[in-house]
Amino acid sequence: MNIQEASRRRSERVWMGVVAVASGLVFTVLGFLVAVLVMGAIGFAAQHGLVHTLLGARWQPLAGRLQIGLFIVDSALVTALAMLLALPFGIAVAIFGSLVAGAWERTVLRWILTLASAVPSVAYGWWGLAVVVPGIRGLGLGAGYGLVSAGLVLALMILPTFSVLAWEAILAVPEDWHQTSLALGANDDQNIIRLVLPASMAGLQTAFLTALARAVGETMAVQMVLGGAVSHFYGLFGPGATLTTQILTDMAVLPVGSPNHGVLDFMALVLFLGVTLMTGTMGRQVRGRGRP
Amino acid sequence: MMKSGKHLQRLASVATLAAMVTLLWVIIALCREGLMHWHWWVLWRRPRELKAGGGLGPELINTLSMVALAECLSLPLGLATAIWLGEAKLPRRVREGLDGFFISFQSIPAIVVGLVAFEVLVGYFHWPLSVATGTLALTVLNVPQVVVFSRQAMAAVPDAWREGSLALGATALETVWRMVLPASLFALVDQLGLSFARLAGESALLIFTAGLNVGPHWGWFQPGETLAVHLWQVRTEGLMPDRAALAAETGIVLLAITALAIFGSKVWSLRLKAYQSGPGGGGP
């Protein structure tokens, strides 16, 4: 081994070390983040009781009544509403984009979806305040601030993400399969129902779960139109509060170091575990690549 | 025999049209409202809390500087982690587990990161609500995204190319540096624009880390309200008489930054790809 070769080996080791240290830092910070949440949440749950906190619906943070059941229900309702609305439209966009649209339409559609998926959530919230809230009020369905308004805004917000992922899932169906299906005499409807949707089901599920995770975690767009009622359930058109919006609201009410601050960690951990469960059930997106 | 059944396709076309019209409605309504009252001076004037005629100069500077700094911190860290994940001698199970860890972190609600950043930086280290706190929180939010998109971009480079490079005598890192990274650069640049746009639009994370005010001048520990936070604050609890117009104007500036970041990175990425493929050359 000559000197040049030895120095190459050494620089390889040094750089591998640099890369390892940088990723070690990343793992430490993210692990620390989870640890902070878990510690805070355990401290809180030990004091107030797990079941009591999760299933109760009384929220008076300054009086020490800290039960988050209502927020979980509201989070679930708003998210379910958003997904129910976004699902059919998202799949329609994916089918149109991959099977129906010509080159020109496809480009326009792609651009709109890309831009819309990057539009800030406060902009969707702004639209909710400007259009959805007055609209629902105009229909005589209450003040306009409420779970349904939040679900509508949220549905629109996750639609671009869901459509793009679903589109890619459908594109992954091999062209040969389409040809075979059509050659067997299937018409376009039968092709979609019997071939395209079943064949891309795994990808569609991934798209659905990704959009679901994003919907559950969204704060601002929901907060702006939700109304923020914490005391009891006012129905679908009535105001409410989700886990995310209530963390935001009560960061000022329960500052760090105050005795009941741990409930915020608890709520954040519930959110994080929920989202991890959703993404954890997804198929592998990035395939692990070993050394060749 | 039934004439071509195209009911589903027609249904999909109509639904797509409806969805696109509604999405464009959001963008156009905001632009219309903002352009009706547009004043160029909002770009440099300072905000006013109670009087009309305030601008968003400091918010604009905060947004651009914080997002740029957060990218500068999170890109090298995320890329290094992605390279390590690809090149370190890890059992297959461990590698897949770590990839899964980042994928679930990619969907972590921003408010959760914001809460922990608030507890640690503000609560424990007693940093003020400031540019520095907000930038670090944005960095933590962005790193998992960078790891995931870098892994995907690098995984798209064919294995045969890696084998060729190794067969020519290059080491693993030389292969990454001289071949894998250049070959996936266009994909990384493309994602960079989306990531910049996403951070610029972030608000939940910044309310309790960067704060709702701006300082007399830019500084690490000056309050660091950004455009997205400003839009939220003005629209929900603003007291200035021209708040409706100001919120929409803030929205326009924010949308312009978002669109420029995405469009710019797309153009750059396409040019890179064209340059790499070259006349007669082959790219991934």
Provide the pLDDT for residue A255: 85
CB contact under 8 A, B258 and A120: yes
Burial of A46 (0-12, 13-18, 19+ CB in 10 A): exposed
Say whether the ipTM exceeds 0.85.
yes
* Nearest residue to A12 (alpha-carbon basis) of B171, B180, B177, B170: B171
Element of type H or E holding A59: strand A59-60
Place of tokens 């070259």: B278
CB contact under 8 A, B262 and A220: no
* Nearest residue to B129 (alpha-carbon basis) of B116, B113, B118, B142: B118
Which one of B5, B103, B159 has the shortest CB-CB distance to A190?
A: B5
Show me where the domains of chain B are located.
Answer: 37-277
Domain B37-277: CATH superfamily, name plus number: MetI-like (1.10.3720.10)
CA quadruple B112, B118, B119, B122: dihedral, nearest 10: 170
d(CA B209, CA B129): 5
Q: Which residues of A touch B163 (CB under 8 A)?
A: 292
CA A141 to chain centre: 28
Provide the pLDDT for residue B220: 86
pLDDT at A285 over 50: no
Contact A119, B27 (CB under 8 A): yes
Element of type H or E holding A66: strand A65-66
Phi, psi (degrees; rounded to nearest 5) at A65: -95, 110
For residue B100, give the chain A residue with the closest CA.
A280
Taking only the tens place, the pLDDT of each residue in A200-256 is 998 899 899 999 999 999 999 999 999 888 877 888 888 989 999 999 999 888 888
B275–chain A nearest CA distance, Å: 22
B206–chain A nearest CA distance, Å: 11
Element of type H or E holding A65: strand A65-66
d(CA B176, CA B174): 5
CB contact under 8 A, A244 and B108: no
Provide the pLDDT for residue A228: 83
- CB proximity under 8 Å: A 192-221 to B: 192-193, 210, 213-214, 216-220
Q: Which residues of A touch B107 (CB under 8 A)?
A: 210, 213-214, 217, 275, 278-279
d(CA B274, CA B270): 6
Contact A67, A58 (CB under 8 A): yes
Provide the pLDDT for residue B252: 93
pLDDT at A290 over 70: no
A149–chain B nearest CA distance, Å: 15
Provide the pLDDT for residue A283: 52
Taking only the tens place, the pLDDT of each residue in A90-130 is 999 999 999 888 899 999 999 999 999 989 999 999 999 99
A208–chain B nearest CA distance, Å: 13
pLDDT at A1 over 70: no
A25 in B contact zone (CB under 8 Å): yes
Please name the residues in contact with A163: beta carbons below 8 A apart, sequence gap of 6 or more: A89, A90, A93, A94, A97, A113, B19
Triad A169, A173, A179: Cα angle to 5°:
150
B132–chain A nearest CA distance, Å: 17
Amino acid at residue number B137:
A
Which one of A18, A123, A159 has the shortest CB-CB distance to B255?
A: A123
Taking only the tens place, the pLDDT of each residue in A183-203 is 998 888 888 888 999 999 988
pLDDT at A288 over 50: no
Triad A209, A214, A215: Cα angle to 5°:
95
Beta-carbon contacts below 8 Å between A and B: 294
Handedness of CA A201, A202, A203, A207 (dihedral sign): positive
Split at pLDDT 50, 70, 90, the class of A286 is very low
Best of A23, A32, A122, A245 to mutate (most B CBs within 10 Å, chain B): A122
For residue B96, give the chain A residue with the closest CA.
A288
- CB proximity under 8 Å: B 52-91 to A: 76-78, 80-81, 83-90
B166 in A contact zone (CB under 8 Å): yes
Q: Which residues of A touch B5 (CB under 8 A)?
A: 187-190
Strands A65-66 and A59-60: antiparallel
Q: State the first-to-last Cα distance of chain B, in angstroms, to the nearest integer.
A: 45
Q: Which residues of A touch B27 (CB under 8 A)?
A: 115-116, 119, 123
For residue A153, give the chain B residue with the closest CA.
B26
Provide the pLDDT for residue A254: 87
Which one of A99, A159, A255 has the shortest CB-CB distance to B23?
A: A159
Average pLDDT of the residues in A58-77: 88
Contact A159, A90 (CB under 8 A): yes
Provide the pLDDT for residue A93: 96
Average pLDDT of the residues in A169-182: 90
Which stretches of chain B drop beneath a pLDDT of 70?
Answer: 1-4, 278-284
Q: In chain A, what is the greatest distance between 2 CA atoms, to the nearest angstrom?
A: 85
A63–chain B nearest CA distance, Å: 22
CB contact under 8 A, B12 and A16: no
B176–chain A nearest CA distance, Å: 11
Distances in whole angstroms, Cα of residue A140 to Cα of each of A134, A145, A148, A149, A223: 10, 12, 13, 13, 22
Angle between helices A201-217 and A262-280 (to 10 degrees): 170
B230 in A contact zone (CB under 8 Å): no
Q: Which residues of B touch A23 (CB under 8 A)?
A: 77, 80-81, 84-85
